[in-house]
């Protein structure tokens, strides 16, 4: 899988993302031809080489005809512009997802509705170019997945259309909720609302560089000149090379060893965690200090959910500390579909590598419901459904049979 990893050591903005992609090999002419599908006039996008604190990169420059009137735009105006374009459906949908998140963030911080939001900086032509250009550029480079480091916010204040605001800007802070972020003594706005919206909408995970074969890298320059190189680095490469056709991503793993909790509570904790979006949770018996038998609780979640589940475990268990780490994983493609069987409709989980089915299994809860409703052994239901889904001539469920003889092996 071809992935792009954005290293936000100096934050990120829309123009920095464009510059990084071009510096990593994106053809500016192809990007401009793609942007021409917006049918926007009176602007020009170009790129120039720059050096920031001794490190080279590319800077995106959007020249706008200042003699023309460029009104502030609301979400409805931007949607009309993008939907009227000849961009591909995928690019239109991703671009609108980014602008929708921006509108929702602005609406929350200004205590208004999404429809009433007028973007000011965000709705300007250069921001439209940044958002659509970033989505188009990633598509032109053939990027299949995006990962990102923790986001460097900056500190101090920033001047914008609403006046002088604290850094991160309120809309930026809304956009990065649930995402790993940090600030240093570097003054100024490092992460802009546009940059935050693009990365938090498109990235699959936030953390260290995932396991990959790095092939290209590029640096996109911002306009400011803080004490560190004002650059956004992108690393492009392939991951999951040992398992072609599989998906690769990154997960956060949290662990805590417990020796003083009522065992009845574990069921509640596990059900709650899964309901809140944990990818997995399991228990292992361990021998702890002072020879006490205990339980090692392991929870797996998306990297952006790390802090949420850390607090959850500390609140819901007797643990007063836990360990965490990021891990890479490779997984087969998965899908859940409903099929008709002789016992009724059952959801089937299918795992694939490319076009090859490597595993199929009936959904346990569906089989359990059938067993209870028909008063027949659960293992017989699972066996019957499994046999039917593996048969090239599956039995038509329009005539379900209620007899035990049909079901038992």
DSSP string, 144-201: -EEEE-PEE-EESEEEETTEEEESSPHHHHHHTTTS-EE--S-BEE-B-HHHHHHHHH
Q: How confident is the model at residue 67 (pLDDT cuts 50, 70, 90)?
A: low
In sequence order, what are the residues at sequence separation of 6 or more whose Cβ sits closer than 8 angstroms to the Cβ of residue 292?
A: 259
Please give the Cα distance from 172 to 199 (Å, whole number): 11
Q: Over 90: is that where the pLDDT of 127 sits?
A: no
Order across the sheet with 145-148: list the strands. Answer: 43-52, 55-64, 213-221, 231-238, 2-7, 145-148, 205-206
Say what the pLDDT of residue 401 is. 39
Are residues 381 and 371 in contact, defined by beta-carbon separation less than 8 angstroms? Answer: yes
Which tokens hold the place of 264?
A: 């009845």
Q: Does pLDDT of 125 surpass 90?
A: no
- Residue 80 CB neighbours (<10 A): 12
Query: Is pLDDT larger for residue 243 or for residue 343?
Result: 343
pLDDT at 12 over 90: yes
d(CA 4, CA 20): 11
- What topology does CATH give the domain 333-407? Ubiquitin-like (UB roll) (3.10.20)
Contacts of 311 (CB under 8 A, 6+ apart): none
Average pLDDT, the chain: 88
User: Vertex 92, ends 91 and 94: CA angle to 5°?
Assistant: 65
Task: Calculate mean pLDDT across residues 32-41.
Answer: 93
The reported pLDDT for the residue numbered 385 is: 92
The CATH 3.10.20.300 portion of the chain extends over: 333-407
pLDDT for the residue 398? 37
The whole-angstrom separation of Cα 363 and Cα 170 is 44
Residue 89: the pLDDT is: 92
pLDDT at 43: 86
Question: What stretch(es) of the chain map to CATH 3.30.70.1380?
Answer: 247-330
pLDDT of residue 397: 38
Long-range Cβ contacts of 405-408 (<8 Å, 24+ apart): 406/342, 407/343, 407/374, 407/376, 407/380, 407/381, 408/376, 408/377, 408/380
| DSSP strands (E only) in 224-322 | 231-238, 247-258, 280-288, 292-301
The larger pLDDT score, comparing residue 292 to residue 239, is at 292
pLDDT in tens, 383-405: 999 998 877 554 443 333 333 33
In angstroms, rounded to a whole number, what is the distance separating the alpha carbons of residues 77 and 338?
40
Cα Dmax for the chain: 83
pLDDT of amino acid 244: 59
Name the architecture of domain 247-330.
2-Layer Sandwich (3.30)
Q: Compute the average pLDDT of residues 32-55.
A: 94
DSSP state of 310: H
In this prediction, residue 72 carries a pLDDT of 65
- Residue 399 is predicted with a pLDDT of 37
Predicted pLDDT at 69: 53
- 212 has pLDDT over 60: yes
pLDDT-derived band of residue 327, with 50, 70 and 90 as boundaries? confident
Helix (H) or strand (E) holding 99: helix 89-110
Contact between 75 and 115 (Cβ < 8 Å):
yes
CA pair distance 5, 157, nearest whole angstrom: 28
Residue 70 has a pLDDT of 52
Angle between helices 89-110 and 125-140 (to 10 degrees): 140
The proportion of the chain whose per-residue pLDDT surpasses 90, expressed as a percent, equals 64
Which segment, 63-77, 152-166, 307-321, is predicted with the most confidence on average?
A: 307-321
Please report the pLDDT score of residue 402 as a whole number. 38
Residue 409 has pLDDT above 50, yes or no: no
């Amino acid at each position: 899988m071809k992935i792009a990893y954005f290293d936000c050591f100096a934050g990120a903005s829309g123009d920095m993302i464009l510059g990084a992609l071009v510096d990593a090999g994106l053809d500016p002419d192809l990007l401009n031809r793609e942007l021409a599908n917006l049918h926007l006039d009176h602007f020009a996008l170009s790129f120039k080489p720059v050096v920031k604190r001794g490190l080279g990169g590319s800077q995106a420059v959007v020249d706008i005809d200042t003699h023309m009137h460029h009104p502030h735009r609301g979400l409805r105006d931007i949607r009309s512009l993008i939907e009227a374009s000849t961009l591909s459906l995928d690019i239109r949908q991703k671009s609108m997802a980014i602008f929708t998140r921006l509108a929702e963030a602005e609406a929350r911080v200004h205590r208004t509705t999404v429809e009433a939001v007028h973007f000011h900086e965000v709705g300007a032509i250069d921001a439209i170019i940044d958002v659509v250009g970033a989505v188009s550029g990633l598509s032109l480079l053939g990027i299949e997945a995006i990962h990102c480091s923790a986001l460097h916010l900056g500190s101090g204040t920033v001047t914008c259309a609403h006046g002088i605001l604290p850094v991160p800007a309120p809309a930026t802070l809304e956009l990065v909720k649930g995402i790993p972020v940090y600030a240093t003594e570097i003054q100024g706005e490092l992460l802009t609302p546009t940059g935050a919206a693009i990365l938090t909408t498109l990235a699959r995970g936030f953390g260290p560089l995932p396991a990959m074969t790095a092939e290209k890298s590029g640096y996109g320059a911002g306009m400011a000149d803080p004490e560190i190189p004002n650059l956004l680095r992108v690393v492009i490469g392939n991951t999951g090379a040992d398992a072609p056709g599989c998906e690769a991503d990154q997960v956060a793993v949290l662990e805590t060893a417990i020796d003083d909790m009522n065992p009845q509570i574990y069921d509640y904790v596990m059900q709650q965690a899964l309901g809140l979006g944990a990818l997995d949770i399991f228990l292992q018996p361990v021998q702890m200090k002072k020879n006490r038998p205990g339980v090692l609780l392991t929870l797996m979640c998306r990297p952006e959910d790390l802090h949420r589940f850390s607090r959850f475990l500390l609140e819901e268990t007797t643990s007063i500390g836990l360990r965490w780490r990021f891990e890479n994983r490779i997984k087969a493609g998965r899908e859940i579909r409903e099929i008709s069987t002789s016992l009724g409709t059952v959801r089937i989980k299918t795992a694939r590598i490319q076009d090859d089915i490597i595993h199929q299994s009936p959904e346990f809860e569906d089989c359990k419901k059938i067993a209870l409703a028909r008063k027949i052994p659960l293992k017989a239901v699972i066996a019957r459904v499994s046999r039917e889904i593996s048969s090239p001539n599956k039995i038509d469920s329009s005539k379900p049979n209620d007899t035990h003889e049909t079901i038992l092996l």
